[in-house]
Amino acid sequence: MTEQASRKVEMEKIVSLCRRRGFIFPSSEIYGGLSSCWDYGPLGVELKQNIKQAWWRAVVQERDDIVGLDASILMHPQTWAASGHLEGFADPLVECKNCHLRWRSDDLKGNNCPSCGGELTEPRLFNLMFKTFMGPIEEEASVVYLRPETAQGMFVNFQNVVNTTRKRLPFGIAQIGKAFRNEITTGNFIFRSREFEQMEIEFFVKSGTDEEWFNYWLEERLNWYVKLGIKKENLRLREHTKGELAHYARVCYDIDYLFPMGWAELEGIANRGDFDLVQHASFSGKSLDYFDEETKEHIIPYIIEPSAGVDRSALAFLCDAYDEELAEGEIRVILHLHPALAPIKAAVLPLSRREKLVAVAKQIYADLRQWWMVSYDDAQSIGRRYRRQDEIGTPFCVTVDFQSLEDEQATIRERDTMNQIRVPINELKTTLEAKLSGERFDTQPLWTAKG
């Protein structure tokens, strides 16, 4: 089997796991679904939340040169004239004269309609922005757009942030939020959807230092994925060719991930030069320059933009974590998710439903829930319950058995190695805390029973 063919099977498995265990459902499924829109279920919403939190922590919380922002999705329509989206954010489409289906002309292999073989029109540009109306009257003057990227909210707030935070160059603004694109080519599950979330940084620097900062961000962002568990061999950097470069970009690299369908963009990192601030200053008539205290000059900063997708990151983390192994004659499905990303950090499992055991297990559950997302499961055999937690990536299971009633200890079982250690119940929280933040599990294993 070729590499691509063998990985394609995996995508089907990912889709099936996500559906079966409540990570991701088709949007409005009871009405037959809405094309390329997805709903994140109880586990999916935790995974997405954890990805966003890990990103925010790395780029805002742990740095003193980036601040956060949450701009509105609807922006003044002039924003999109200034940004170039009204004119340039378009795909060339052809329409079949027979069945009237539309196709991206750059995706077509032949000269005829791939669906019915009919004759095609000449390509026409089709804008990818969703249009709607603000206020009660549906007229041209009240047209607004759902933002196709979060970036513009940060450019138009540049002066607000400088004035209120007194940040000096180099500094950045970071934002996480929804973006909408009326994509023509969709598919590959959540890889390309019409409503998605972005995590973007606009990093403002002095011109002349832009190349250095660009390289810095390439490395920083690649390392973020690796630290959260993505295998290095599944990541690569790819430079955009001149023909591919967006109208605003001087240089752009994609961080590609080896998805089941092949290498594809996970994140884009662009050197946008002074394009955005110059454009918005010109369209708004407001100054967006910056006073450089060192040279006593007014300058327009350059912008380095690392722009990541939450949904694509979720897909990459799921694909990279997915594994199957043979355990006691059965296939064990495991998500080796990094503990920071795992939707559930620990599951509390009483060995039986006997009243005395349940009371202890429920108390442990109540205690641990104060700190993390923890689940409680007492249905079916302990082996099955372990498998259910392995499949959703829960790093630790806490098992309460009859011995626990006597020695006030419980067993912690680790997902990847299936090793187990015995811990006093009143030390469960501190032990799990240490293990979740990376302490080795096998320091003092009592036994290594596979289970």
Nearer to ligand GAP, 303 or 334 (CB): 303
Collapsed DSSP state (helix, strand, coil) of residue 103:
strand
Answer yes or no whether residue 303 interacts with ligand GAP by CB under 6 A: no
- Closer to ligand GAP by Cβ: residue 197 or 390: 197
- What mask of x and - would describe binding to ligand GAP in positions 135 to 164, judged by CB under 6 A? --------------x-x-------------
State the nearest-atom distance from the C-beta of 154 to ligand GAP, in Å. Answer: 9
Count of other CB atoms within 10 angstroms of residue 292: 14
Q: Which is nearer to ligand GAP, 184 or 373 (CB)?
A: 184
Pick from 314, 311, 367: nearest CA to 337: 314
Own/partner long-range contacts of 380-388 (Cβ < 8 Å, ≥24 apart): 382/349, 382/351, 382/451, 383/328, 383/451, 385/347, 385/349, 386/349, 386/413, 386/418, 386/451, 387/330, 387/332, 387/333
Residue from 46, 91, 265, 401 binding ligand GAP (CB under 6 A): 265
Residue ranges with strand state E in 135-261: 143-145, 171-180, 195-205, 235-239, 251-259
Is 272 an interacting residue with respect to ligand GAP (CB under 6 A)?
Answer: no
Distance CA 365, CA 393 (A): 18
Structure token pair of residue 304:
């380095």
Q: Which residue is nearest to ligand GAP (CB)?
A: 309
Q: How many Cβ atoms from other residues are within 10 Å of residue 125's Cβ?
A: 11
Site for ligand GAP in 187-216 (CB under 6 A): 192-193, 196, 198, 200
309 sits near ligand GAP (criterion: CB under 6 A): yes
- Angstrom CA distances, 284 to 78, 82, 91, 277, 359, stand at 8, 9, 27, 10, 65
By the rule CB under 6 A, 397 interacts with ligand GAP:
no
Nearest distance in Å: CB 177, ligand GAP:
11
Q: Considering beta carbons, is residue 181 or 435 the nearer one to ligand GAP?
A: 181
In whole angstroms, the minimum distance from the beta carbon of 149 to ligand GAP comes to: 4
* Site membership for ligand GAP, residue 378 (CB under 6 A): no
The answer to the question of residue 38 lying near ligand GAP (CB under 6 A) is no
- Would you put residue 302 in left (φ > 0), alpha (ψ -120 to 50) or beta? beta
Please report whether residue 181 would count as binding ligand GAP according to CB under 6 A.
yes
Q: Please tell me the count of residues contacting ligand GAP according to CB under 6 A.
A: 19
Site membership for ligand GAP, residue 312 (CB under 6 A): yes
CB 120 → ligand GAP: shortest distance, Å? 24
Structure-block tokens of residue 118: 């009919």
Distance CA(240)–CA(257), nearest Å, equals 15
Name 51's bridge partners.
none
Residue numbers at the binding site for ligand GAP (CB under 6 A): 149, 151, 181, 183, 192-193, 196, 198, 200, 265-268, 305, 307-309, 311-312
